[in-house]
């Protein structure tokens, strides 16, 4: 039972009629939903300042009209089938139009470690000081910043002291805040990998940045072209380039660090580096030039994007400006989630989760690769060794949008690469596999093969 506001106003139909009218309108407008329990007659009478008999009679009238039902032991409730969606009630989303969602970007949400996260929240709340539940430090709680600095240094080779770490609401916010800081300093010419993420291009343009495309080849970003672009900063995904999946080579990593030390700024989005299958782990580029790099990461690919929790590791000359931008954006990321994630890191629960899901993702990768080589042998697969998606170069002359449309008609959703390009390129699609079981991936690959043949 929840509190209830009844607008019953004046009227010539007496107290009972006015209560009936107010409750009836609340049901019709959806402010009272099906099955919702109404206050007891004594409680509602006291709230409205009327006798209990008025409320009892009103309930009986509405029950006779079919708006309410009364059952012994469960009180008076709103009947099913009479309420409509209103401003206070959200309808469930309509079922998706695809049976197989292979669009990259989301991990297996069913693998979210609910029990471990719940335990971390309990542990965090039990140990939290009262002061930690107030407005947090805009840059993040010291406890989480310390845990993140240790974790990123141990696992990703990031050079990070706790004071250089800022907690943000995902990489999107981290990048948006950084763009504000760079623009305030007159740095608006930013290079991006081409092809890259369509969402990143949209974010840059929304902040008044005209991205400069730099070609990606089999070694990753072509740093020689970056040097000739005149860009003051570059956004890169060196561990597993999106969307091609290529890893920035050792030679190019050295070149990129040298470019940064000469006055550039590297913005490293390390979005899915925790997942690797057929190669040794590579450290972050940030470790090669920590004073000329911003390192961004989040829980969106490892746990769930709905947590909206991420981090930025900043060089000293950007640290204070970034913290100010974060303060004015939202006064800081939620303290309880920060405390919970710190507890998960400290207990080793985060590492255990990653060890548990890597074999699952590898099995799904293997199933999809095998099926695509059977049903779509003419497509070239890239980005297989790591991450949560594959890159498929389509046969020459095939329109990627036509392939995506034909696949969708068969219930398969994929991502085209064109929206992430700044210059023309070979048709290609990106295919995610994290959230789909092996047999369903095989079925989807067969349908995708049909779609390519239809579009050829």
Residue pLDDT, tens place only, 329-352: 999 999 999 999 999 999 999 999
> What's the rounded Cα separation, in Å, for the pair 428 and 415?
9
Cis check: omega of the bond before 366, within 30 degrees of 0: no
Query: What pLDDT does 28 receive?
Result: 86
Alpha-helical regions (H) of 376-423: 400-409
* 16-25, 353-362, 392-401, 409-418: range with lowest mean pLDDT: 16-25
Tens-place pLDDT, residues 110-152: 999 999 999 999 999 999 999 999 998 999 999 999 999 999 9
> What's the rounded Cα separation, in Å, for the pair 36 and 43?
16
- The separation between the first and the last C-alpha atoms of the chain, rounded to the nearest angstrom, is 60
Read off the pTM: 0.84
Q: What is the DSSP letter of 70?
A: E
Residue 53 DSSP SS3: helix
Q: What is the mean pLDDT of the chain?
A: 92
Phi/psi for 268 (5° steps) reads -105, 115
Residue 12's pLDDT band (boundaries 50, 70, 90)? low
Q: Which residues contact 263 (CB under 8 A, 6 or more apart)?
A: 232
Q: What is the DSSP letter of 456?
A: -
Per residue, the 3-state secondary structure of 80-127, as one string, reads CCCCCCCCCCCCCCCCCCCCEECCCCCCCHHHCCHHHHHHHHHHHHHH
Phi/psi for 221 (5° steps) reads -55, 135
- Would strands 265-269 and 233-236 be described as parallel, antiparallel, or unpaired? parallel
Share of the chain above pLDDT 70, in %: 94
- Return the domain boundaries, the chain: 14-78, 101-106+354-455, 112-351
The answer to whether residues 379 and 452 touch, using CB atoms and an 8 Å cutoff, is yes
Residue 308 C-beta-side C-alpha neighbours within 13 Å = 9
Q: What is the DSSP letter of 372?
A: H
Q: Which CATH architecture has domain 14-78?
A: Orthogonal Bundle (1.10)
Residue 283: exposed, middle, or buried by beta-carbon count in 10 A (0-12, 13-18, 19+)?
middle
* 1-5, 55-59, 385-389, 394-398: range with lowest mean pLDDT: 1-5
Residue 235 reports pLDDT greater than 70? yes
Query: What pLDDT does 268 receive?
Result: 98
Residue 455 DSSP SS3: helix
Angle, CA 441 vertex, CA 246 and CA 103 arms, to 5°: 55
Residue 297 DSSP SS3: strand
The answer to whether residues 372 and 448 touch, using CB atoms and an 8 Å cutoff, is yes
Contacts 24+ apart (CB under 8 A), 62-66: 62/20, 62/23, 62/24, 62/27, 65/24
Residue 51 C-beta-side C-alpha neighbours within 13 Å = 6
> What's the rounded Cα separation, in Å, for the pair 226 and 208?
20
The encoded tokens of residue 328 equal 């004015």
> What's the rounded Cα separation, in Å, for the pair 303 and 112?
6
> What's the rounded Cα separation, in Å, for the pair 403 and 237?
26
The answer to whether residues 438 and 398 touch, using CB atoms and an 8 Å cutoff, is no
CATH entry, 101-106+354-455, from 3.40.1280.10, 3.30.1330.10, 3.90.1150.10, 3.90.700.10: 3.90.1150.10
> What's the rounded Cα separation, in Å, for the pair 231 and 192?
9
> What's the rounded Cα separation, in Å, for the pair 159 and 311?
14
Considering only CA atoms, which of 192, 197, 102 is closest in space to residue 418?
A: 197
May I ask the CATH class of domain 112-351? alpha beta
> What's the rounded Cα separation, in Å, for the pair 31 and 90?
11
Tens-place pLDDT, residues 197-223: 999 999 999 999 989 999 999 999 999
Burial code (b: 16+ CB inside 10 Å, e: under 16) for 90-107 equals eeeeeeeebebbbbbbbb
To the nearest 10 degrees (0 to 180), the angle between helices 316-330 and 170-184 is: 110
Segment 84-100 mean pLDDT: 59
Residue 381 DSSP SS3: strand
The answer to whether residues 36 and 77 touch, using CB atoms and an 8 Å cutoff, is yes
Tell me the β-bridge partners of 184: none
Segment 93-105 mean pLDDT: 79
Q: Which residues contact 124 (CB under 8 A, 6 or more apart)?
A: 336, 339, 340, 342, 343
Query: What pLDDT does 9 receive?
Result: 63
């Amino acid at each position: 039972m929840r509190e209830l506001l009844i607008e019953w106003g004046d009227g010539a139909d007496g107290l009972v009629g006015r209560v009936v009218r107010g409750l009836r309108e609340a049901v019709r407008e959806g402010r009272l939903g099906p099955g919702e329990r109404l206050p007891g007659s004594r409680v509602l009478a006291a709230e409205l300042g009327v006798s209990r008999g008025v409320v009892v009679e009103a309930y009986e009238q509405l029950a006779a009209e079919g708006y309410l039902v009364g059952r012994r032991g469960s009180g008076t409730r709103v009947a099913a089938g009479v309420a409509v969606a209103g401003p206070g009630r959200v309808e469930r989303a309509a079922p998706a139009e695809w049976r197989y969602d292979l669009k990259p970007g989301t991990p297996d949400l069913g693998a979210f470690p609910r029990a471990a996260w719940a335990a971390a929240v309990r542990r965090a709340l039990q140990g939290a000081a009262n002061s930690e539940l107030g407005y947090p430090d805009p840059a993040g709680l010291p406890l989480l910043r310390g845990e993140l600095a240790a974790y990123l240094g141990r696992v990703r080779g990031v050079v990070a002291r706790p004071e250089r770490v800022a907690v943000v609401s995902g990489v999107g916010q981290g990048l948006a805040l950084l763009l504000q800081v760079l623009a305030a300093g007159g740095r608006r010419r930013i290079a991006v990998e081409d092809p890259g993420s369509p969402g990143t291009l949209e974010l840059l343009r929304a902040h008044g940045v005209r991205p400069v495309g730099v070609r990606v080849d089999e070694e990753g970003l072509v740093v020689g072209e970056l040097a000739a672009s005149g860009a003051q900063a570059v956004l890169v995904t060196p561990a597993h380039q999106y969307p091609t999946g290529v890893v920035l080579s050792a030679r190019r990593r050295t070149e990129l660090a040298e470019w940064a030390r000469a006055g550039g700024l590297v913005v490293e989005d390390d979005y899915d580096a925790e997942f690797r299958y057929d190669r040794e782990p590579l450290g972050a580029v940030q470790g090669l030039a920590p004073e000329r790099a911003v390192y961004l990461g989040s829980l969106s690919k490892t746990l769930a994007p709905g947590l909206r929790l991420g981090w930025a590791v900043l060089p000293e000359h950007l640290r204070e400006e970034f913290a100010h931008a974060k303060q004015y954006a939202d006064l800081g990321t939620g303290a309880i989630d920060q405390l919970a994630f710190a507890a998960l890191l400290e207990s080793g629960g985060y590492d255990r989760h990653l060890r548990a899901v890597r074999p699952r993702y590898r099995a799904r990768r293997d199933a999809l690769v095998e099926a695509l080589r059977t049903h779509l042998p003419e497509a070239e697969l890239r980005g297989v060794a790591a991450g949560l998606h594959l890159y498929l170069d389509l046969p020459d002359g095939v329109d990627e949008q036509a392939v995506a449309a034909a696949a969708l008609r068969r219930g398969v959703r994929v991502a085209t690469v064109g929206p992430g390009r700044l210059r023309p390129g070979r048709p290609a699609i990106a295919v995610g596999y994290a959230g789909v079981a092996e047999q369903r991936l095989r079925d989807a690959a067969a349908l995708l093969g049909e779609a390519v043949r239809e579009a050829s």
